[in-house]
Amino acid sequence: MDHKKLEALLHDMSLKEKIGQVFQISGQLLVEDAAAMGPMQEMGVTKEDLALAGTVLGVTGAERIQNIQKEYMEQHPHHIPLIFMLDVINGYRTVYPIPLAQGASFQPELSKECARMAAREAAAAGLHVTFSPMTDLVRDARWGRVMESTGEDVYLNGLFAKAMTQGYQGDGLAGAETLGACVKHFAGYGAPDAGRDYNTVQLTERTFREYYLPAYQAAVDAKVALVMTSFNTVNDIPATVNKTLMRDILRKEMGFDGVLISDFGAIGETIAHGLSSDRADAARRALEAGVDIDMMSGAYPEKLEQLIREGQVKEELLDEAVMRILELKNKLGLFENPYKGADAEKEEQVILCPENRALARKAAEQSFVLLKNDGDFLPLKKEEKIAFIGPYVNRKQLLGGWSFLGDAADTVTVEEAAREMASDWSITFAQGCQVLDPETRLVGFGNDQETCGSPDDQQALWEEACDAAREADKVVLFLGEHFLQTGEAASRGVLELPQVQQRLLEEISSINPQVAVVLFNGRPLDLRLVNEHSQAILEAWMPGTEGGPALVRVLTGGSEPVGRLPMSFPYCVGQVPVHYDEFPTGRPYHEPDQNRFLSKYLDIPNRPLYPFGYGLGYTAFAVSKVRLDKQEMTADETITASVTVQNVGHRTGTDVIQLYLHDVSASVVRPVKQLKGYQRVTLEPGQETQVSFEISEEMLRFYTADGTWASEPGVFEVMIGESSAVEQKAEFLLR
């Protein structure tokens, strides 16, 4: 449909119809029963409002969506199709690793493939839009939603935001196998005070722009279809009604021209924030800020008609929002094909097909991070007698807290994979304990409580595990968080494993000190106890449907762990928020300096236990000193920085060589280092290669003291190494 026809359609719509287009309803409200009436009354929503709503949240399935779309369009005055949206975060039914784990791969193109795969499955099931990618910068492991981000680094997050957006959207939104992407949460949601979800955010203007906006900008530059508002405040104004943030920064400065949607109920929540006086005031503020779709607060359908008729809100603002929604529906091709992509036969064929499972397995393998490997404990050897022990040995819930459409029954567990892939190995299996402490109660989506069994049952599990440890040459403990201990509304003040698992670790390691630990979690944890009682640590995150086979391959040496930490693992919770690109302060501390009057703790180190970019493999690499092809450059020149990398181990391996830069003296304080590039190199034993990076003036820019985005002449340090802990450096001068 051309734009003139869209304008004519908009002109012909009644005020009620237009207000319907800017309201998103939950799929449960489409079912006319008692369960739906309560939420409808709370929102002030009528059956007429439901009949005119423009978009739907949380419905899926090709046949179901086709039926809903057909019935809706038949009764709609202008037969305008619905858009069906859902959180497809790390896969639809074939679930690949959580986004934080994808960040650990340092391979945005792999995430692009995964997003494309998810789009194929979801589109066949009738969906049009996913609420992904989440590009919030995250530096506080207490915040549960770090699992949805790709980590603490500005540069890396931007690469993944672009890749995921392109993966979902493909060559065009109208394609039968594509989804519209929605970047979230705009803006600064990843920096809540005290790591507590939905809490206030306090960021300086410079920090906000230089660190938190770039990943959103990367998605906007990739032509992301939608942006979602965040729950938090920005400059003490809730983002959802922040006109400066949405109209001036997002639309004018960043160039976003798509649909802006609120998060769930966020418009109404501005009353609780203490900004909006009532629901009418909230609706007015949100529309004036440019929010096109009210997701489930009901403030728009309840209040906009009265506000417009009384002249408190200009109808032109509503028309502007409706036109953007109609344009999105047009880009999705829904006016020509309201059932775009929905195909029950294809849905059956593509979901969990071998090709998709293979990609999920590859993504999982590439995300694992080897944190410790004393004495080359891993990989395991076929001649060894091995015990696989722990609550995650045969656990199917490896999907993550936001994998709504994933079915744990589809997951291949570690034990299932080992029995098939290592059937001729000597491996015994024992659960040992439950995931959670008996007194822990989690409230989440659906029936999520763990059953602990009777005390006798628990004791039997414990004794079985101890017996297995005694008989083994090596023990691999599979431990981790419950999947509902991360994700939305899952902030934690203690970042340790559940106590029952800590006791299992201590007991098993006392019986047999030859212990490796495999971790399943959605956030950085305090691993001091794990580090103390293990010879090796493998971070597996929440690896998805094919997590079991991927782990068995890595543990048995079929492939090597190649992941690198996308987020620093703190020494303890007292350090957080902790990140590698910190400011030096006026009294910087460098271990083991004994001067009391420096920026340090008295009882813990400054450095995290495991820093950003860190990860081991099954071989070792040596990285030479940094070489520069010249010592000075002007703004229109470049400098090439190089190192020689050699595999000094005994097997072929892959390393991630990382480039960090530091502006030594500037008009504002600059971070001690910032990631500006990286390269993956695979070398055979004894082989070496040169790795080079081209440094341009653009890479040296920042927000200067006068607020401009520019570089400044001066000295810069170049660091190239295997993690953010790299210290050896070279210098050049920008003239």
How confident is the model over 606-616, as pLDDT tens digits? 999 999 999 99
And the tokens for 250?
Answer: 């997002």
Indicate the fold that domain 621-734 takes in CATH: Immunoglobulin-like (2.60.40)
Find, among 101, 140, 151, 196, the residue nearest to 573 by Cα. 140
How far apart CA 89 and CA 183 sit, in angstroms, is: 11
Residues with Cβ within 8 Å of 206's Cβ and at least 6 positions away in sequence, in order, are: 668, 703, 707
Integer Cα distance of 97 and 362 in angstroms: 10
C-beta of residue 616 within 8 angstroms of C-beta of residue 371: yes
Contact 569, 434 (CB under 8 A): no
What is the helix (H) or strand (E) element at residue 354, kind and residue range?
Answer: helix 354-367
pLDDT at 442: 85
Structure tokens at 101: 């784990």
Catalytic residue chosen out of the listed positions 263, 294, 581, 655: 263
717 is written with which tokens?
Answer: 């340090």
Cα angle: 377, vertex 378, 383; to 5 degrees: 85
Q: How many CA atoms lie within 13 A of 184 on its CB side?
A: 25
The 8-class DSSP code of residue 402 comes to T
Is the pLDDT at 445 greater than 90, yes or no? no
Q: Measure the CA–CA gap between 100 and 61, rounded to whole angstroms.
A: 28
Distance CA 21, CA 55 (A): 7
471-498 pLDDT tens trace = 999 999 999 999 999 999 999 999 999 9
Active site residue 581: no
The 10 Å Cβ neighbour count of residue 335 is 16
Residue 375 contacts residue 508 (beta carbons within 8 Å): no
Contacts of 405 (CB under 8 A, 6+ apart): 60, 86, 88, 91, 92, 93, 122
What pLDDT is attached to residue 454? 86
From the list 46, 63, 62, 54, the residue with the least C-alpha distance to 25 is 54
Closest C-alpha among 235, 140, 150, 136 to residue 186: 136
Q: What's the pLDDT score for residue 34? A: 43
- Rounded CA separation 682/106 (Å): 14
In the chain, domain spans: 352-565, 621-734
Q: How much is the pLDDT for 44?
A: 79
- Model pLDDT for residues 352-366, shown as the tens digit of each residue: 999 999 999 999 999
Over residues 715-722, mean pLDDT = 98
Dist. CA 126–CA 177, nearest whole Å? 10
Separation CA 546–CA 355 (nearest Å): 12
Say if CB 240 and CB 205 are below 8 A apart.
no
CA separation for the pair 137, 149 (Å, rounded): 7
Distance CA(722)–CA(706), nearest Å, equals: 35
Would you call the peptide bond into 577 cis, given omega within 30 degrees of 0 as the criterion? yes
Using an 8 Å Cβ cutoff, are 119 and 152 in contact? no
Residues 6+ positions from 569 with CB-CB distance below 8 Å: 141, 371, 524, 525, 527, 608, 609, 610
Alpha helices per DSSP H over 426-543: 455-471, 499-511, 528-532
Q: Give the pLDDT band of residue 424 (cuts 50, 70, 90).
A: very high
How far is CA 230 from each of CA 129, 489, 523, 714, rounded to the nearest angstrom? Answer: 18, 14, 21, 38
CA dist 506 to 15, 345, 395, Å? 67, 52, 21
Q: What is the pLDDT of residue 446?
A: 56
Mean pLDDT of the chain: 96
Q: How confident is the model at residue 572 (pLDDT cuts 50, 70, 90)?
A: very high
Tell me the pLDDT tens digit for each residue of 657-697.
999 999 999 999 999 999 999 999 999 999 999 999 999 99
For 3-38, write each residue's pLDDT tens digit: 999 999 999 999 999 999 999 999 888 765 544 556
Q: Which residues pair with 518 in a beta bridge?
A: 478, 538
467 pLDDT exceeds 90? yes
What's the CA gap between 566 and 612, in Å, rounded?
Answer: 6
What single-letter amino acid sits at 707? G
Buried b (16+ CB within 10 A) or exposed e, 646-685: bbebeeebbbbbbbbbbbeebeeebbbbbbbbbbebebee
Contact 168, 132 (CB under 8 A): yes
- The candidate with the shortest Cα–Cα distance to 608, out of 661, 644, 571, 657, is 571
Structure tokens at 588: 């910087």
Q: Using the predicted structure, report yes or no on whether residue 324 has a pLDDT greater than 50.
A: yes
Share of the chain above pLDDT 90, in %: 93
Provide the pLDDT for residue 38: 67
Tell me the mean pLDDT in the region 442-447.
Answer: 66
Give me the mean pLDDT over the 418-425 stretch: 98
Q: Give the pLDDT score at 5.
A: 97
Lowest mean pLDDT among 33-37, 116-120, 504-508, 721-725: 33-37
Report whether 632 contacts 732 (CB < 8 A): yes
What string of DSSP letters covers 169-205? HTT-TTSTT--EEEEEEETTTT-BGGG-TT--B---H
* Per-residue pLDDT reduced to its tens digit, 70-106: 999 999 999 999 999 999 999 999 999 999 999 999 9
Does position 447 have pLDDT exceeding 80, yes or no? no
Q: Do domains 352-565 and 621-734 have the same CATH topology?
A: no
Q: H helices within 556-700, ranges in order?
A: none
| Mean pLDDT score, 626-638 | 98
At 553 the pLDDT is: 98
Pick the CATH number of 352-565 from 3.40.50.2300, 3.30.70.1230, 3.40.50.1700, 3.30.70.100: 3.40.50.1700
Is residue 698 predicted with pLDDT exceeding 70?
yes
How many residues appear in the chain? 735
DSSP structure class, residue 281: H
pLDDT band at 443 (very low <50, low <70, confident <90, very high): confident
- Please name which of 38, 78, 28 lies closest in space to residue 58, comparing C-alpha atoms: 28
What is the per-residue pLDDT across 137-187, written as a single tens digit (0 to 9) for each? Answer: 999 999 999 999 999 999 999 999 999 999 999 999 999 999 999 999 999
Q: How far apart are CA 159 and CA 162, in angstroms?
A: 5
| Beta bridge pairs of residue 226 | 182, 259
What pLDDT does residue 401 have? 87
